[in-house]
Structure 1
Amino acid sequence: MDCRVVVEAAIPVYDVGSADEAVRIAISKTGDMLNPDLNYVEISMGTRACPHCEEEIDPAFVAADEALVSLELEMTVFNVEDEEHASRIARKEIGQRMQKVPLDIVEVDVIEDDSEEIDDSQADTDESTESTTESDASDEDILPEFQDLIGEK
């Protein structure tokens, strides 16, 4: 089974003037930490909501020229036993390269394997083909030209 795992990371950024600048610096900083070993991890802005009104707010909290930025790191984990196993692997792989950065699993989605679906549909096709070849053809179904060949009239 393969899974897509989304991990939220809280990235500290220093000497920034705005939330946009903090997000850009945090993405760059995270990319430097992950590359080249984990260049397959997708980095995007995280989403945050106000705890009172549930309205979406900026992914960066800026105070005194320092910021804490919420980023989402997405990776695909292959050949895992279950979703918990996938989340442990993703957290370990990302956590090894991002030391002292808090990580939280946001989402784990199982990726459907297309080859299994193709195999199932192929098996259904094979079964229907076998059932048509196994049925006995009556003498009436045989064309007259071929009845001479098989010796039946």
Structure 2
Amino acid sequence: MDCRVVVEAAVPVYDVETTDEAVRIAISKTGEMLNPDLNYVEIAMGSRTSPDGEELPPAFVAADEALVALELEMSVFNVEREEHAARIARKEIGQRLHNIPLKLLSVDPLESDGDENDTAESERTDRSDADEADGADEADGADDATGDRRSDGGRADETAVGGDLLPEFEEMVEDER
């Protein structure tokens, strides 16, 4: 599953006079911290509301300092659950935005245009190809004394003959039988 994650960041900005100036500087400052590693994160002005539901500007300016609400969006791919996507996004963004608090706003699954089925099918094909390759290796030296094919993809445990043991240990194991 692929998800679109949105987190809110509270970015402090210094020596500003207006909310517009504070927002521009906060976006620039955040972009510098995220780039080049996370240049795929989209930065937008956040929205704030009062307890009464009144729309407020995205920055609060006092004494030439401001606290700006920004929304950072990123896509997270190949996750099992939305919670996993949220943790990945917060970790990736949080590592680059030092001392800036983050709050999870939303996690939305991305619509796949049949790509998910294609991906699953290609993964199954890749696994079956790998199993066939393991089967060719098994023909040269069987995993166990009977030569049976294992259900774990041809991998033998450490006590089986023909596994990943060194040759001298294989001889010791054969002597034990």
TM-score of the superposition, structure 2-length normalised? Answer: 0.65
1:62 matched to 2:61? The reply is: yes
Q: CA deviation at 1:115?
A: 1.3
Structure 1 letter corresponding to 2:62: A
Report the 3-state secondary structure (helix = DSSP H, G, I; strand = E; otherwise coil) of the residue aligned with 2:95. Answer: helix
Residue 21 of structure 2 corresponds to which residue in structure 1?
A: 21
Identical aligned residues as a percent: 74
Q: Quick one: higher RCO (CA 8 Å, sep 6+), 1 or 2?
A: 1
TM-score of the superposition, structure 1-length normalised? Answer: 0.75
Q: CA deviation at 1:116?
A: 5.3
> How many correspondences in the alignment?
118
Gaps of 5+ in 1: 120-153
Structure 2 letter corresponding to 1:96: Q
String of CA shifts for 1:86-142, please: whole Å, max 9, x gaps.
0000000000000110000001000121115887xxxxxxxxxxxxxxxxxxxxxxx
Bigger-Rg structure (1/2): 1
More strand by share: 1
Runs of 4+ in 1 over 3 A off after TM superposition: 116-119
Structure 2 letter corresponding to 1:97: R
The root-mean-square deviation of aligned C-alpha atoms, in Å, is: 1.3
Name the CA distance, whole Å, in 2 between partners of 1:83 and 1:13.
Answer: 32
Gaps of 5+ in 2: 119-177
Name the CA distance, whole Å, in 2 between partners of 1:65 and 1:55.
Answer: 24
Question: What pairs with 1:121-140 in structure 2 (closer than 5 Å)?
Answer: none
